[in-house]
Chain A
Amino acid sequence: MSDLFDLTGKTVLLTGSSRGIGRAMAEGMAMQGANVVISSRDVATCEATAKKINEMVGAERAHAIPANASRKHEVDALVAATRQRLGDIHILVGNAAVNPHFGTMDSLPDEAFDKIMNVNVKANHWLAQMIGPEMAERGEGSMIFTSSIGAFKPSLEIGAYNISKVALLGLVRNLAAEFGPSGVRANAVCPGLIKTEFAKALYEDPKRAKAAAAMTALKRLGEPEDFRGVGVFLASKASEYMTGQAVTVCGGSNMWS
């Protein structure tokens, strides 16, 4: 049974993994024996997080390779440096995302929309384009992308973000279809409201946090650590027959919708 979740010797490239959900997924995978790449545009945080994970697992399994996911040449460098240091890439986690705009669509500047779509959708496409073929050649691999429960509903505040997250589900679906015949899987994780820096604006007001927690079946907001197990599951043999799916992890705020 334990073999199902074993990731010993696997290399995982994660974007947006110096903090929050990406970091928690990296922690979970490193605990299961994987070598994980910690990447974000914040160099110092990448290095600090890699160090903490290595202390946590008592081995040198986390490697800081900073890059700005919105720039193709930096994503290129990230993939090249990962291969150089850790060899084949077995698991990809596209988790980096931005949300520079709060407000309705009619107030959304082009620049903000471009930035959102570029990081949240296109950068994940680049990663799949750069890493998918090597996975297909080996006949196995798992790609995991962080979408959101925002993909399932409209928003008067973060509409553009939600739109990008629907598009990301579209990407995941297509990757699953394209790479499935080669044994490579692609799935999305759709977090609810999780207490991360990224989502701070949505829960820092205690009243709002309370109301959001009341909307969940488990009566609490999510913690980044809640994603350790989900990441391990989707990365490992345990989810062998799952592909093209959107796994909602939200404490029950959303159920099939």
Chain B
Amino acid sequence: MELRDKIIVVTGAASGIGEGLVKRFADEAPKAIVCADIDEAGAARVAATYGGVAMTADIGTEAGVVSLIDRVEAEVGPIDLMCCNAGILLIGGPETPDEDWDRIIDINVKSHIWTARHLVPKMIERGGGYFLNTASAAGLLSQVGSMPYAVTKHAAVAVGEWIAFTYGDQGVRVTLLCPQAVRSKMTEGHEEGVASMDGMLEPADAAEACVEAIRNEKFLALPHDKVLGYAQAKTANYDRWIGGMKKLNRIYGGTGGI
């Protein structure tokens, strides 16, 4: 899909990859870019910098997701490209308290489900639409040091796959962004972490990979090109992969790994 004259929404647009997406999309002459974030001032700043429309949104609740979609469709127009980018990271394992699990599941997974629930029918009615969902290489591989991140990103991959093959015939397309470390508030202070082994990329690199994947309607946007090889190696020999991850866990496990 070409982005020219399209209406685009980016959640988590106030910083990091979200801001990078807004900045890069602006070069494609879209009709409008809605910069949505729970951080009102941040969304306003990014929108002002790159010529977008700022909207405050908390995608951690279904009502928040519906409100964002409603407001965009009422005030800007029908959404062509929905970028479910907002996400959080929590360090820890199964001892992570339930309320934290609930929060990361709501934000990293259920927000993608809620968005699909309310936007897919509209897209199908209009003959199609596009989702760019920010998952992570952790969704294809795993995340040393963070079980909640590994689990929710795997789930986000499953959500994206399911939407792609279920609604594809009705014109709904999906690209999943699966990077390793990208410089952002989330990775700040983790520059030496496991996800940066193959280098920490800039948001601009991730955004470039997204624009290219959307243009070619490719399911995966992989700014770190080694990720596909890692995923293939994982499925080729799971035991060997677990062994390799054990090694990484010994080195990076205590820090959350990113």
- The answer to whether A43 touches B71 (Cβ under 8 A) is no
Q: B67 an interface residue at 8 Å Cβ cutoff?
A: yes
In angstroms, Cα B56 to Cα A83, docked, is 19
Kindly provide the distance from the CB of B48 to the nearest chain A CB, expressed in whole angstroms.
Answer: 17
Binds B, one of A63-71, A100-108, A146-154: A63-71
Q: B57 an interface residue at 8 Å Cβ cutoff?
A: yes
Kindly provide the distance from the CB of A14 to the nearest chain B CB, expressed in whole angstroms.
Answer: 15
Number of A-B contacts (CB under 8 A): 57
Q: A138 an interface residue at 8 Å Cβ cutoff?
A: no
**Other contacts beyond A68-B61, A71-B67: 8, CB < 8 A:** A43-B114, A71-B56, A73-B67, A73-B71, A74-B67, A80-B74, A80-B75, A84-B74
Q: B225 an interface residue at 8 Å Cβ cutoff?
A: no
- The answer to whether A84 touches B63 (Cβ under 8 A) is no
Which of A40, A43, A74, A81 sits near B74, CB closer than 8 Å? A81
Q: Which A-chain residue is minimally distant from B66 (CB atoms)?
A: A66
Q: Which residues of B contact A59 (CB under 8 A)?
A: none
- The answer to whether A41 touches B70 (Cβ under 8 A) is no
Whether A80 touches B71, Cβ cut-off 8 Å, given contacts A67-B66, A73-B56, is: yes
Q: A78 an interface residue at 8 Å Cβ cutoff?
A: yes
Contacts A/B (CB < 8 Å), 24 sampled = A40-B63, A42-B63, A43-B63, A65-B66, A66-B62, A66-B67, A67-B66, A67-B67, A68-B67, A71-B58, A71-B64, A72-B56, A73-B40, A73-B55, A73-B56, A73-B57, A73-B67, A73-B71, A74-B64, A78-B70, A81-B70, A81-B73, A83-B74, A84-B70
- The answer to whether B70 touches A65 (Cβ under 8 A) is yes
- The answer to whether A68 touches B74 (Cβ under 8 A) is no
Q: B82 an interface residue at 8 Å Cβ cutoff?
A: no
Main secondary structure of the interface of B (DSSP, over half): helix
Highest count of chain B CB atoms <10 Å: which of A73, A78, A81: A73
Q: A130 an interface residue at 8 Å Cβ cutoff?
A: no
Q: Which residues of A contact B71 (CB under 8 A)?
A: 73, 76-77, 80-81
In angstroms, Cα B67 to Cα A78, docked, is 7
In angstroms, Cα B73 to Cα A78, docked, is 12
Q: Which A-chain residue is minimally distant from B40 (CB atoms)?
A: A73
Kindly provide the distance from the CB of B136 to the nearest chain A CB, expressed in whole angstroms.
Answer: 27
Give the contacts of A37-69 with B (CB-CB under 8 A).
40-43, 65-68
In angstroms, Cα B71 to Cα A76, docked, is 8
Q: Which residues of B contact A76 (CB under 8 A)?
A: 71
Which of A41, A72, A80, A83 sits near B63, CB closer than 8 Å? A41
Q: Which B-chain residue is minimally distant from A81 (CB atoms)?
A: B70
Q: Which A-chain residue is minimally distant from B55 (CB atoms)?
A: A73
Q: Which residues of B contact A80 (CB under 8 A)?
A: 70-71, 74-75
Q: B181 an interface residue at 8 Å Cβ cutoff?
A: no
